[in-house]
Amino acid sequence: MTIKPARAAALAVLLVPALAIPATAGSSGGGHGHGNGCERSFDRAVTAYVETTDERDADGFAALLHDDVTAVFANGGVLYGKDQTMGFIEPFFEAPGWTQTFDELTRHVEGCRSGFVLFDSVYTEDGTEVPLVIGLTFTRERGRWLVLQNQDSSGPASQG
């Protein structure tokens, strides 16, 4: 399984080292009368994802992944399951010299079942910038929001 291009342009999302996540007008509670508690806990899960990536905290990051997580790189490479994903993340987090920005484009929560966040991102390594669009789909299981899918696409979102 070869997933290179700028370190797979960093499973970019699955790797969110970045800045703070601003709430946007696109943020949505999905409504449907399911209360704000799930939305607030979803917000905390998204923030934890960004923080654990920014801090390169592999154990904390792993705690946010569903056992059946799927990560899709912009180049089409796919990681299946938590073990493969963490097999990529651990050495990725150990590597120095990269940064990644995350500008939230939209966020949506469907009750206490699922949530989605979309980022415009720039992964930078050794002076090379790789613009990405990163989508994260979360599911709520046993009271915890877990990343079920991480999808990277070529960016920026403002193009095409």
Q: What is the pLDDT of residue 11?
A: 47
Confidence band of 159 (pLDDT split at 50, 70, 90): low
Can you tell me the distance from the alpha carbon of 126 to that of 68, in angstroms, rounded to the nearest whole number? 32
Read off the pLDDT of each residue in 125-145 and give the average, rounded to a whole number.
95
Read off the pLDDT of each residue in 100-117 and give the average, rounded to a whole number.
93
Tokens of 150: 């991480």
Q: Mean pLDDT in the chain? A: 81
Quote the pTM value: 0.78
Can you tell me the distance from the alpha carbon of 35 to that of 140, in angstroms, rounded to the nearest whole number? 14
Sheet with 128-141, side-by-side order of all strands: 27-28, 98-110, 114-125, 128-141, 144-154, 65-72, 78-80
Tokens of 120: 């415009």
Q: What is the pLDDT of residue 50?
A: 86
- Helix, strand, coil shares of the chain, percent, nearest 5, are 30, 40, 30
* Residue 116 CA, distance from chain mean position: 10
Residue 48 pLDDT > 90, yes or no?
yes
Confidence band of 137 (pLDDT split at 50, 70, 90): very high
| Domain extents in the chain | 7-154
Residues with Cβ < 8 Å from 2, sequence gap 6 or more? Answer: 77
Strand, helix or coil at 151? strand
Q: Write the CATH number of the domain with boundaries 7-154.
A: 3.10.450.50
Which range, of 24-28, 69-73, 148-152, averages the lowest pLDDT?
24-28
More reliable by pLDDT, 92 or 100 = 92
Residue 73 pLDDT > 90, yes or no?
yes
Residue 116 pLDDT > 60, yes or no?
yes
What's the pLDDT tens digit per position in 18-44? Answer: 322 333 333 344 443 345 789 999 999
More reliable by pLDDT, 86 or 25 = 86
Strand, helix or coil at 19? coil
Residue 56 pLDDT > 50, yes or no?
yes
